[in-house]
Amino acid sequence: MAADVNSPAQQAEIDDTYAEAFRSLYAEVLITARDRKWLDHACRAATGHASSTIMCDCEAGVDRYVGPGGDASFATPDGRPGAVVQFHLPRFRKDRVEALEKVLLARLSQNVLTCPTTACFNLLDTEPYFKLGRKIAFFGDGFQQRVRRHDRPMWVIPTMGGEFTVDRRFGYADGIMGGNLWFLGTTADAAIEAAERSVTGVEATPGAITTFPGGVAASASKAGSRYSFLFASTYEQFCPTLKQQLGPESKVPDGVTSIMEIIINGRDLETVAQATRAAIAASIATPGLLKISAGNYGGRLGKSFIHLRDVS
C-alpha cells in the first residue's frame, strides 16, 4: 500500500531532561571584508581551534552574516559584507578577563589583520572595556594613526596590502555557554542529518553560535576522568559501541547506533533557549531520529537549565 503523503512526518521523542548551561564572559565583534570569500577566510581563521574550552583557549563561532549578502537590516559601518563573531570563556575562570583579552588580541591580530581587505569593529558598548585597538595598532611600528572613520574612533594600520582599520575599544559582557542537544539516531547518517538540521535553526537565531566543526560534535564529554591529568573524557555510558561491554550501565537506548551533539553559546539564557527551540523544530522530523536529549551534570557544572520539553 502506498504511503499517505498527507500524513504528518514521524517525529522523534523529546527526552524529559534539561541542558545544563553555565555563565560565560564573551566579546562580540564585527568583521568586514571586500567580499564573502575573504570574509569567510577571516572568520574561519579567527574562530579556528575554538570548539571547546576543555583544550582550546576559547569557544568561538559566527553568529550571523550582515550587510550586503546577509541580514540587510544590520548595516555595517563601512557598507561591506560582514559577520558577527562571538568569543566565550567560562565565567568560573579566575583569569577570565585577562584571558579573554589575550584571546581577542591573538585572534584579531593574527587572523583578521592578516587577511586581505578586512576591518574589525566592536559590537559591545560596555564599561569596562579592552583598549584592544591600541595594542593591535603597535604592529604599525609608529606609522599607525588614530582617526575618526565611519563616524567612530579607530586606528589605521598601514600594511603591504593597503591598510587595516580597527576600533579602539572592545567591550565584554556576561553570556551563556554550554547549551546543548543530543540526537539519537538509528544510523550515523540519521544522527548527523538531525544535528545538521538543528544547526540551521541555531544559525537563524540572532545572538547564538555553535562552536564545533560544522556545528556538530561526535564526542560528547563528561566531567572528570580516570586519568588524573584530564578533567573531561568520553561519556562512555552514551557510546553505542560500548553498549554490550557496559551492560546495565549503558544508557544507550535499543536501536540507537549513533549520537551527535551540538553546543549552543549565546548572549544570554533567553537567546540560547530560543536557539534550542529552533534547533528542535528544525530536526525533530529527521528520518531515523529516535530521540532528542541533552547533557547535564545535576547542576554541578552550571545553574542555567534549559528544559527541552518547555522550549519545544
Tell whether 146 and 169 lie within a shared domain: yes
In a domain, 4, yes or no: no
Residues 6+ apart with CB under 8 A from 44: none
| Whether residue 147 has pLDDT greater than 80 | yes
- pLDDT confidence of 15, banded at 50, 70, 90? very high
pLDDT of residue 143: 98
The residue among 152, 173, 194 that closes a domain is 173
Whether 140 and 158 have beta carbons less than 8 Å apart is answered as: yes
C-alpha cell at 224: 572528570
pLDDT of residue 312: 83
Tell whether 30 and 135 lie within a shared domain: yes
The DSSP 8-state label assigned to residue 76 in this structure reads -
| Whether residue 152 has pLDDT greater than 90 | yes
Q: How many domains does the chain have?
A: 2
- As a whole number, mean pLDDT of residues 2-24 equals 79
In a domain, 52, yes or no: yes
- As a whole number, mean pLDDT of residues 128-136 equals 98
pLDDT of residue 9: 67
The DSSP 8-state label assigned to residue 272 in this structure reads H
In a domain, 67, yes or no: yes
Tell whether 187 and 299 lie within a shared domain: yes
- pLDDT confidence of 8, banded at 50, 70, 90? low
Tell whether 82 and 165 lie within a shared domain: yes
In a domain, 7, yes or no: no
E-strand ranges in the chain read 13-14, 18-32, 59-66, 82-90, 119-122, 129-130, 145-149, 152-159, 162-167, 170-171, 173-185, 208-210, 221-223, 232-234, 258-266, 289-293, 304-307
Cβ atoms within 10 Å, residue 245: 10
| Whether residue 5 has pLDDT greater than 60 | no
Tell whether 192 and 151 lie within a shared domain: no
In a domain, 266, yes or no: yes
Q: pLDDT per residue over 229-246, tens digit each? A: 998 999 999 999 999 999
| Whether residue 250 has pLDDT greater than 50 | yes
Higher pLDDT, 298 or 239: 239
CB-neighbour burial class of residue 70 (10 A; exposed 0-12, middle 13-18, buried 19+)? middle
Tell whether 105 and 43 lie within a shared domain: yes
In a domain, 208, yes or no: yes
Mean per-residue pLDDT over the chain, rounded: 95
% the chain with pLDDT above 70: 97
pLDDT of residue 218: 97
Tell whether 37 and 110 lie within a shared domain: yes
Residues 6+ apart with CB under 8 A from 7: none
Domain of 279, CATH number, reads: 3.30.70.520
pLDDT of residue 1: 40
Q: pLDDT per residue over 26-83, tens digit each? A: 999 999 999 999 999 999 999 999 999 999 999 999 999 999 999 999 999 999 999 9
pLDDT of residue 7: 44
Whether 48 and 111 have beta carbons less than 8 Å apart is answered as: yes
The residue among 114, 149, 173 that closes a domain is 173
Tell whether 97 and 215 lie within a shared domain: no
Tell whether 116 and 207 lie within a shared domain: no
Q: What is the extent of the structural domain holding 79?
A: 24-173
| Whether residue 287 has pLDDT greater than 70 | yes
- pLDDT confidence of 6, banded at 50, 70, 90? very low
Tell whether 165 and 212 lie within a shared domain: no
In a domain, 8, yes or no: no
Tell whether 36 and 160 lie within a shared domain: yes
Tell whether 205 and 230 lie within a shared domain: yes
- pLDDT confidence of 10, banded at 50, 70, 90? confident
Q: pLDDT per residue over 80-120, tens digit each? A: 999 999 999 999 999 999 999 999 999 999 999 999 999 99
The residue among 155, 173, 191 that closes a domain is 173
In a domain, 6, yes or no: no
Q: pLDDT per residue over 180-223, tens digit each? A: 999 999 999 999 999 999 999 999 999 999 999 999 999 989 88
- Opening angle at CA 208, ends 284 and 202, nearest 5: 20
